[in-house]
C-alpha cells in the first residue's frame, strides 16, 4: 500500500488536560507517514504550554499555530489548512483521541477506492471526561445510513448528520475544491460534509477507530438557538429533493405565527428553496404581519 502523507491538525481551546492523551494516541499510530500541526485559539488555560512540553519531551516536530487573540474555530481551521502538506487531512479537537489503527485503516480504505471518494469516517467509542465509555445516540448498525458498499446514502446528511468529526479522514483536494471554512457558521463540520458530499462519495468504515469525548456542553441558550437556526438553514440549502420540506415548513410557520424573528439568512435561503410553499414565501418576502398569515392559513385549510 502507498503511504501518502497525512496532515493531522490538533486544535485546543481550554482543553489542556486532554492534550497529552490526544498526542500520545497520535504517537501510537501504526501508520508512519504523518505530519503534525498543533493549534490553540488563545486559550486562557495552559494549552500552549502543554503542547510545547509534549513536543519537547517526545522529540516530535510540529508546525505551531498559537493565537494570542481568540478568532473562532473557522479561522483556525483555515489558517491550519494553509500549513497542511499532506494528501489527506485529519482535524481533531484536543479532547478527542484515536485508536492506534485509525490512520492506517482510513488511508488504506481511501487508497483502495476510486477518485469518486472524497472522505472516510468510522464508528467510534463515546467516552466521558475520565475516558469511561458512555451511551450515545448514534448506532450505525441500526440505522439505514449506508448503501451496500458502505458509502453514505446521497440524502443522509440532509436528514441527519451521522458523522463524528474526529473519525474523519478527508482528501485535501476535497476540502480545497469546496472552499474555505465559513466563520459565520457554528456548524462548520456539517456544512463541510454537505459540500463534500455534493462532489464526492463518502465512505464508512465499520470499525471503532476514534474516541469521542461526550462532555456537558455548557452551551448558552443563545448559542443553542443559533445552532438550531443553522441546522434549518443547511437543510434548506442542500435539500434538492424536498426530503425536509415539511420539517422546514413547520419550523418557519411556528416562528412566524408566534411573531418570533426569523433570521434573514433563513428567509433568503427559503425564498430560493425549490420545494418552498408559495403562500409562505409570499408572506415572508412581503413582510406581511404574522396574524394575517395565521388567518390566511385557517381559511386555506377549510
Encode pLDDT of 165-206 as tens digits: 999 999 999 999 999 999 999 999 999 999 999 999 999 999
Whether residue 71 is predicted with pLDDT greater than 50 in this model: the reply is yes
Whether residue 302 is predicted with pLDDT greater than 60 in this model: the reply is no
Same domain for 226 and 79 = no
The number of domains in the chain is 2
Summarize the confidence of residues 272-280 as an average pLDDT: 92
Query: Quick check: is 1 in a domain?
Result: no
- Parallel, antiparallel, or unpaired: how do β-strands 201-213 and 117-127 relate? parallel
Alpha-carbon distance of 94 to 117, in angstroms, equals 27
Rounded CA Rg of the chain: 21
- Return all residues near 32 (Cβ < 8 A) that are at least 6 apart: 3
Residue ending a domain, among 168, 194, 213, is: 213
Same domain for 50 and 138 = yes
Q: What is the pLDDT of residue 64?
A: 98
Q: CB–CB of 227/186 below 8 Å?
A: yes
Q: What is the pLDDT of residue 182?
A: 94
Give the tens place of pLDDT for each residue, 56-70.
999 999 999 999 999
Instruction: Say which CATH number the domain at 11 has.
Output: 3.90.550.10
Query: Quick check: is 283 in a domain?
Result: yes
- Assigned C-alpha cell, 221: 441558550
Domain that holds residue 293: 221-301
Query: Quick check: is 113 in a domain?
Result: yes
Residue ending a domain, among 177, 192, 213, is: 213
Length of the chain: 302
Residue ending a domain, among 192, 213, 234, is: 213
Indicate the pTM of the whole model. Answer: 0.92
- Parallel, antiparallel, or unpaired: how do β-strands 88-93 and 6-12 relate? parallel
Amino acid at each position: 500500500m502507498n503511504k501518502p502523507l497525512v496532515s493531522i491538525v490538533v486544535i485546543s481551546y481550554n482543553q489542556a488536560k486532554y492534550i497529552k492523551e490526544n498526542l500520545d494516541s497520535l504517537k501510537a499510530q501504526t501508520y508512519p507517514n504523518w505530519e503534525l500541526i498543533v493549534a490553540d485559539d488563545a486559550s486562557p488555560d495552559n494549552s500552549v504550554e502543554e503542547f510545547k512540553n509534549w513536543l519537547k519531551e517526545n522529540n516530535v516536530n510540529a508546525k505551531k499555530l498559537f493565537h494570542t487573540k481568540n478568532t473562532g474555530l473557522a479561522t483556525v481551521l483555515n489558517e491550519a489548512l494553509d500549513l497542511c502538506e499532506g494528501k489527506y487531512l485529519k482535524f481533531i479537537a484536543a479532547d478527542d483521541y484515536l485508536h492506534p489503527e485509525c490512520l492506517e485503516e482510513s488511508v488504506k480504505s481511501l487508497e483502495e477506492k476510486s477518485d469518486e471518494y472524497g472522505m472516510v469516517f468510522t464508528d467510534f467509542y463515546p467516552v466521558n471526561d475520565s475516558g469511561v465509555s458512555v451511551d450515545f445516540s448514534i448506532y450505525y448498525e441500526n440505522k439505514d445510513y449506508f448503501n451496500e458498499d458502505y458509502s453514505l446514502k446521497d440524502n443522509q446528511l440532509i436528514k441527519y448528520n451521522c458523522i463524528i468529526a474526529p473519525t474523519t479522514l478527508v482528501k485535501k483536494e476535497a476540502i480545497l475544491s469546496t472552499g474555505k471554512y465559513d466563520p459565520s457558521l457554528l456548524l462548520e463540520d456539517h456544512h463541510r460534509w454537505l459540500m463534500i458530499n455534493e462532489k464526492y462519495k463518502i465512505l464508512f468504515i465499520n470499525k471503532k477507530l476514534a474516541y469521542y469525548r461526550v462532555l456537558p456542553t455548557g452551551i448558552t441558550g443563545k448559542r443553542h438557538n443559533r445552532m438550531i437556526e443553522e441546522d434549518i438553514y443547511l437543510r434548506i440549502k442542500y435539500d434538492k429533493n424536498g426530503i425536509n420540506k415539511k420539517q422546514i415548513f413547520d419550523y418557519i410557520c411556528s416562528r412566524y405565527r408566534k411573531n418570533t424573528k426569523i433570521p434573514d439568512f433563513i428567509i433568503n435561503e427559503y425564498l430560493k428553496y425549490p420545494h418552498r410553499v408559495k403562500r409562505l414565501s409570499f408572506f415572508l418576502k412581503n413582510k406581511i404581519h404574522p396574524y394575517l398569515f395565521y388567518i390566511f392559513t385557517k381559511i386555506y385549510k377549510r
